[in-house]
Amino acid sequence: MANKNYSDLKLGKIISAKLSPDDAMLDVIQNPKNKIKYLVRFTCPEFTSLCPVTSQPDFAHLVIDYIPHKDIVESKSLKLFLESYRNYPTFHEECTLSISEKLINAIDPIWLRIGGYWYPRGGIPIDVFFQTGKPPLDVWIPDQGVKSYRGRG
């Protein structure tokens, strides 16, 4: 349910990221333009998590696109949620999909897609993509356009 009392938000307060994404909460705000379909894009070019086998850091460029319904996610809470993965052991696939699941459960968007463009380790990039279904035809949805490292076409 959307937050109508903005004093309850993390915005404007000094708050540390949680140590686990399971403990991180997303602040939700009522969509101020819920009669209009539009796209919201969050880009996180310096996302990090840990490999659950080697404990080595994994780096990704995340692009999260969604078309809000009744609620939107507040950006600082999303930033803190994404930061909570910094020392969290998880595989690329589980990480990318769990981010989308948390967003879907929090804001119930009309449409959501996430591109997890993971930087290579051992010479192999693993990119993970998810979307909730076909996007509406009446909303402009630009290409994610990520060409983060040499070798990606």
Q: Given the structure tokens 């993390």, which residue do they identify? A: 10
Catalytic one of 58, 65, 71, 95: 58
Shortest CA distance to 71 belongs to which of 2, 10, 15? 2
Between these two residues, 7 and 138, which has the higher pLDDT value?
138
Catalytic residue among 8, 23, 27, 51: 51
Q: What is the mean pLDDT of residues 87-110?
A: 97
Tokens 């939107």 belong to 72
Q: What residue segments make up the domains of the chain, in order of their start?
A: 35-131
**Predicted pLDDT at 17:** 77
* Model confidence pLDDT, tens digit, residues 37-94: 999 999 999 999 999 999 999 999 999 999 999 999 999 999 999 999 999 999 999 9
51 labelled catalytic: yes
Nearest residue to 24 via CA among 114, 70, 87, 71: 87
Q: How far is CA 19 from the centre of its chain?
A: 17
- Fold designation for 35-131: GTP Cyclohydrolase I, domain 2 (3.30.1130)
pTM over 0.75: yes
**Amino acid in the structure at residue 57:** P
